[in-house]
């Protein structure tokens, strides 16, 4: 006989599902999208700065990026939350996730930039192209072509890390499930639904990234 605590209640599923979907769309998805945009742009800036700046500047930027990358994101969330009291928790979450993952994406960009053939750099010099033109018309487009799949994988990883937002009181998908369980003493259904929603959102994205990676490799 199955213990009562482990019985599956369909009515609980339909009761909690709207709340979970609402928090997924209003918080989890929003944080993932906005933080990914911040990380993608800031990561590229970091990679370019480390490439073109004088050694002291590049070294300082690299040290800061390494420090952020090697510090647990939970610690960064708590530090920012108790330091910037004028900002709401959701805004802090978006900024912290964006900055944290920008340090990972910067390494992806760096690898993509290093992968640009030496002949391309020499060609821009031979054509007397300006530094700005070289980067915007030659280097960055080729680097992006090689790095988009890896950047997508980091976006998926960020999506799966959003439950850490609960440490600063943001009611995202997982936290909503826990709150419902605490109020009703039914944890099996909400947490199972949380896992299903994460799977339904991340797995197709991973498949698309894999197909994109194969397509870019084929067209290279």
pLDDT tens-digit readout, 65-95: 999 999 999 999 999 999 998 999 999 999 9
pLDDT averaged over every residue in the chain: 88
* Mean pLDDT for the stretch of residues 40-64: 93
Whether 51 maps to a domain, the answer reads yes
Whether 205 maps to a domain, the answer reads yes
The CATH number linked to 195 is 1.10.3720.10
**pLDDT(8) > 90:** no
Higher pLDDT, 207 or 16: 16
- Taking the whole predicted model, whether its pTM rises above 0.85 is answered as yes
Whether 4 maps to a domain, the answer reads no
Range of the domain at 180: 10-219
Pick from 118, 131, 76: which is nearest to 100 by CA? 76
pLDDT more than 90, % of the chain: 59
As for how many domains the chain has, the answer is 1
Higher pLDDT, 127 or 56: 56
* Mean pLDDT for the stretch of residues 187-194: 93
Q: What is the DSSP string of the chain?
A: ---GGG---HHHHHHHHHHHHHHIIIIIHHHHHHHHHHHHHHHHHHHHHHHHS-HHHHHHHHHHHHHHHHS-HHHHHHHHHHH-TTS-HHHHHHHHHHHHHHHHHHHHHHHHHHTS-HHHHHHHHHTT--HHHHIIIIIHHHHHHHHHHHHHHHHHHHHHHGGGGGGGT---HHHHHHHHHHHHS--HHHHHHHHHHHHHHHHHHHHHHHHHHHHHHHH-
Whether 5 maps to a domain, the answer reads no
Whether 209 maps to a domain, the answer reads yes
Whether 2 maps to a domain, the answer reads no
Whether 1 maps to a domain, the answer reads no
Whether 94 maps to a domain, the answer reads yes
Higher pLDDT, 131 or 168: 168
């Amino acid at each position: 006989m199955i213990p009562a605590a482990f019985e599956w209640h369909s009515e609980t599923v339909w009761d909690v599902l709207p709340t979970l979907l609402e928090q997924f769309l209003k918080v989890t998805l929003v944080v993932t999208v906005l933080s990914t945009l911040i990380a993608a742009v800031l990561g590229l800036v970091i990679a370019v700065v480390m490439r073109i700046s004088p050694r002291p500047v590049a070294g300082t930027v690299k040290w800061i990026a390494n420090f952020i990358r090697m510090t647990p994101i939970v610690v960064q969330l708590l530090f920012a939350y108790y330091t910037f009291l004028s900002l709401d928790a959701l805004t802090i979450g978006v900024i912290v996730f964006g900055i944290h993952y920008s340090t990972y994406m910067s390494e992806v960009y760096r690898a993509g930039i290093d992968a640009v053939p030496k002949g391309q750099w020499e060609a821009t010099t031979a054509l007397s192209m300006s530094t700005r033109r070289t980067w915007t018309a030659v280097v960055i487009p080729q680097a992006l072509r090689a790095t988009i799949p890896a950047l997508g994988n980091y976006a998926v990883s960020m999506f799966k890390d959003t439950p850490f937002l609960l440490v600063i009181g943001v009611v995202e998908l997982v936290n909503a499930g826990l709150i419902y369980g605490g109020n009703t003493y039914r944890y099996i259904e909400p947490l199972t639904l949380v896992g299903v929603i994460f799977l339904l959102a991340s797995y197709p994205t991973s498949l698309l990234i894999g197909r994109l990676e194969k397509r870019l490799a084929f067209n290279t």
